[in-house]
Amino acid sequence: MTQSFLATLPSPETPAKIITLTSAPAYEIFPNFSAYGISKLAVFELMTYIAVENPNVVAVAVHPGIVQTDMTLPMFEPFAHDTVELVGGLAVWLASWEESRHFLSGRYVSANWSVEDIVARRDEILEKELLKMNLTARLGAAQFEK
């Protein structure tokens, strides 16, 4: 769907936004969730690739929180305190054209995080490459780089 959407843009410079759902198993390991977790990791990484390969597109992977639905597994029910309104509000906030939110492109955001805190930490997020899947160890020749 993303590929088709990008193909419909009038030009490679046309601004666009893609907000897609992922979840915590994209970066956290839950036993017996391998297929689900890997699929969510793929979505997360896809948004990173979209952002890098299409500078005109703001692409964000959103974790909706834990919302009580028919699909909520019993082990997660005690934590299902988030609402559809919460994730919907975040999507609307991300979809606005305010450039102050564009720094989140290629990154992961959770619906139950404070957007004010995220914006306040913009410089830290960019400088430290936060909210992305990265190997952070400095080993081999990289340990000697400044």
Residues identified as active-site? 36, 40
**Which burial class, exposed, middle or buried, applies to 103 when counting CB atoms under 10 A from its CB (0-12, 13-18, 19+)?**
middle
By the 8 A CB rule, do 98 and 75 touch? no
β pairing state of 16-21 and 107-110: unpaired
> What is the spatial order of strands in the sheet that 107-110 belongs to?
16-21, 57-63, 107-110
> What length is written for the chain?
146
CA distance 114 to 100: 15
